[in-house]
Amino acid sequence: MGVDATFMKKIFLISFLAMALNAQAQVVVSVHETAKDQPVIPAEIYGQFSEHLGKCIYEGIWVGPGSSIPNVDGYRTDVLNALKALKVPVLRWPGGCFADEYHWMDGIGPREDRPKLVNNNWGGTVEDNSFGTHEFLNLCEMLGAEPYISGNVGSGTVEELAKWVEYMTAENGTMAELRAKNGRREPWKVKYLGVGNENWGCGGDMTAQYYSDVYKRYALYARNYSGNSLFKVACGASGDDYEWTRTLMKNARSKMNGLSVHFYTVRDWNHKGSALQFTPEEYYATLAYSYRIDEILRNHSDIMDAYDPQKTVALMLDEWGTWFDVEPGTNPGHLFQQNTMRDAMVAAVNLNVFNRHTDRLKMANIAQIVNVLQSMILTDGPRMVLTPTYHVFRMFNVHQDATFVPSEASCGTIVSCDGDVMPSFSQSVSRDSAGLIHISMANPYLDKAVSVEVNFDELKPRSVSGEILKASAINACNEFGKAPQVQPARFNGARVSGKKLTLTLPAASVVVLEIK
Ligand code: AHR
């Protein structure tokens, strides 16, 4: 997993030329902290997704109590601690495509008695079902995360899903007795229930019309027990399939609390490209393609507005992130990819976009939490690294449950070689319950620092502190057994003058400021 030398030369050349030309862009950000009645940014926008896929669950999270890898009741200690620091608000499980072939009863009871399963979606790996409902819901409790269960609609019955809900949440009755026999007397609180996943594809290959009827049937029998109130999420569109959203809103909106959508940063499904070796053109193309999410969220929201002007149904982007070729030598079905400063830029730009869509967007779950696609964490046996994406999520978690503050930036645009257009600067602002203002910013230019002037409506900051994430090369990553190449540092470069802040963002960097 080395860093490509030719690529590095190109980057150095570009950086050198940029310095020689004293290339520096100027951006003015206007922050309207006096604006009234702004939405709260749901913490769930910073949500995570964990599927039975490759080394996400097994090895990544769960090693079992008998493992030589240090663990707490079977959960690996290093990963658990890193996830606690991240403040994971919600965790989706068990899939993904896996969910529509998962039979939850195989994952309860004594672990040694649980049947083996073949993971048909992901490499045919044989799993021992040692991580099941108890292990997942207990993990959520340890992390303080809301569980988001994806139910099996594609190959499971209505009764199976109904009983799963009862098993998890009912205080009394046969399912509650079974749960108690398996070691858990108290029911868990389970808020989010996904009724199937990608039912237009791996979740049953259904049409929108057919699925909307199926959805209503499965949702009907997923009952509320013992004070637990389910937030039911219907399977949504892939990317810009607006017809799916229209059909679901037309036929089932009164029966759903949320409608999902999936969007991956993949420019060409037949040539996804390397996670580590890419040209500057590919970097900009990836970032600008990813920025399509802004339009996709807006278009789905507009359709939902037409059927639901009161915004009672939430939009849930329950899968998103970069998807590159697997690392050479790894199982193609395990979707294990490295994670570079490019992924950090994608994460920052996306999270800034999500913060602006929260009147309709109530959850987003990056795919996936450990060892799969755009992960927070990578493991290799007992070794673990935090990815650049992890650092962005940790830096941005100050926005969770904070009040959105409108802002705009006077910046230009970047047009990629694919013709995608994105702003040449990315920012969002919030105010937390203690009154602290946080501004998250990203400078996507590879070859230009950006000098930023931030103007508040009225606020005269008393102090400002911050963190910065940058690297010596855009394809820098954190590798097992080596000193991290990408990790946040304190940022002391912001200057206050009256209602104004000034700072310089280095090329390809992410900065989060805290303002008192
Ligand atoms: O995240 C990997 C897969 O991508 C999920 O299982 C599926 O829902 C999507 O196609």
411 shares its domain with 348: no
Domain for residue 158, yes or no?
yes
- Residues 192-244: pLDDT tens digits? 999 999 999 999 999 999 999 999 999 999 999 999 999 999 999 999 999 99
Query: Pairing relation of β-strands 361-367 and 314-322?
Result: parallel
Domain for residue 345, yes or no?
yes
Question: What is the total count of domains within the chain?
Answer: 2
Query: Within 10 Å of residue 506's Cβ, how many Cβ atoms?
Result: 15
324 shares its domain with 439: no
How far is the centre of ligand 1, averaged over its atoms, from the C-alpha of 96 (Å)? 5
Name the catalytic one among 59, 198, 282, 467: 198
> Quick check: bond before 487 cis, omega within 30?
no
- Residues 167-196: pLDDT tens digits? 999 999 999 999 999 999 999 999 999 999
Distance CA 216, CA 207 (A): 14
State the pLDDT at residue 152. 98
Atom of ligand 1 nearest to the CA of 99: 6
Please say if 319 is a catalytic residue: yes
Query: Are the beta carbons of 468 and 440 closer than 8 angstroms?
Result: no
Kindly report the CATH number assigned to the domain that includes residue 112.
Answer: 3.20.20.80
- Residues 63-80: pLDDT tens digits? 999 999 999 999 999 999
203 lines ligand 1 (CB under 6 A): no
DSSP state of 156: S
416 shares its domain with 295: no
> Quick check: bond before 94 cis, omega within 30?
yes
Domain for residue 387, yes or no?
no
Query: Are the beta carbons of 396 and 47 closer than 8 angstroms?
Result: no
319 lines ligand 1 (CB under 6 A): yes
Range of the domain at 166: 91-363
Q: Is 451 helix (H, G, I), strand (E, B) or coil?
A: strand
The residue out of 332, 347, 363 marking a domain boundary is 363
Provide the token pair at 323: 């998807």
Closest residue CA from atom 7 of ligand 1: 96
Atom of ligand 1 nearest to the CA of 319: 1
Could you tell me how far CA 427 lies from the centroid of its own chain? 18
Domain for residue 111, yes or no?
yes
The pick from 52, 200, 202 for probing ligand 1's pocket by mutation, whose C-beta has the most ligand atoms within 8 angstroms, reads: 202
Query: Are the beta carbons of 438 and 460 closer than 8 angstroms?
Result: no
State the pLDDT at residue 24. 83
Provide the token pair at 339: 């994670």
How far is the centre of ligand 1, averaged over its atoms, from the C-alpha of 148 (Å)? 15
User: C-alpha dihedral over 431, 297, 320, 266, to 10 degrees?
Assistant: -130
Distance CA 89, CA 64 (A): 24
Distances (CA, A) of 234 to 148, 210, 217, 253, 442: 13, 13, 12, 9, 33
Q: Which residues of 406-420 are buried (b: 16+ CB within 10 A; e: fewer)?
A: ebebebeebebeeeb
Distances (CA, A) of 125 to 108, 120, 216: 20, 7, 33
- Residues 143-163: pLDDT tens digits? 999 999 999 999 999 999 999
Query: Are the beta carbons of 513 and 466 closer than 8 angstroms?
Result: yes
Domain for residue 57, yes or no?
no
Atom of ligand 1 nearest to the CA of 49: 1
Query: Within 10 Å of residue 65's Cβ, how many Cβ atoms?
Result: 12
Residue 369 sits at φ, ψ, to 5 deg, of -70, -40
27 shares its domain with 99: no
The pick from 48, 50, 51 for probing ligand 1's pocket by mutation, whose C-beta has the most ligand atoms within 8 angstroms, reads: 51
The residue out of 310, 332, 363 marking a domain boundary is 363
Kindly report the CATH number assigned to the domain that includes residue 445.
Answer: 2.60.40.1180
Determine whether 381 is exposed, middle or buried from the number of CB atoms within 10 Å of its CB (0-12, 13-18, 19+): exposed
251 shares its domain with 339: yes
Residue 403 has pLDDT above 70, yes or no: yes
SS3 sequence, 282-296? HHHHHHHHHCHHHHH
267 shares its domain with 209: yes
Atom of ligand 1 nearest to the CA of 238: 10
On whether the pTM is more than 0.75, the answer is: yes
Domain for residue 132, yes or no?
yes
341 shares its domain with 247: yes
429 shares its domain with 506: yes
Domain for residue 74, yes or no?
no
Distance CA 459, CA 439 (A): 14
271 shares its domain with 146: yes
21 shares its domain with 144: no
95 lines ligand 1 (CB under 6 A): yes
State the pLDDT at residue 462. 95
State the pLDDT at residue 12. 39
Query: Are the beta carbons of 73 and 65 closer than 8 angstroms?
Result: yes
Please say if 198 is a catalytic residue: yes
Closest CA to 193 of 225, 237, 241: 225
113 shares its domain with 16: no
The stretch 448-454 carries a mean pLDDT of 97
96 lines ligand 1 (CB under 6 A): yes
Provide the β-strand partners of residue 262. Answer: 238, 319
Closest residue CA from atom 9 of ligand 1: 96
Domain for residue 180, yes or no?
yes
322 shares its domain with 411: no
374 lines ligand 1 (CB under 6 A): no
Distance CA 332, CA 479 (A): 20
Atom of ligand 1 nearest to the CA of 98: 6
The residue out of 336, 363, 390 marking a domain boundary is 363
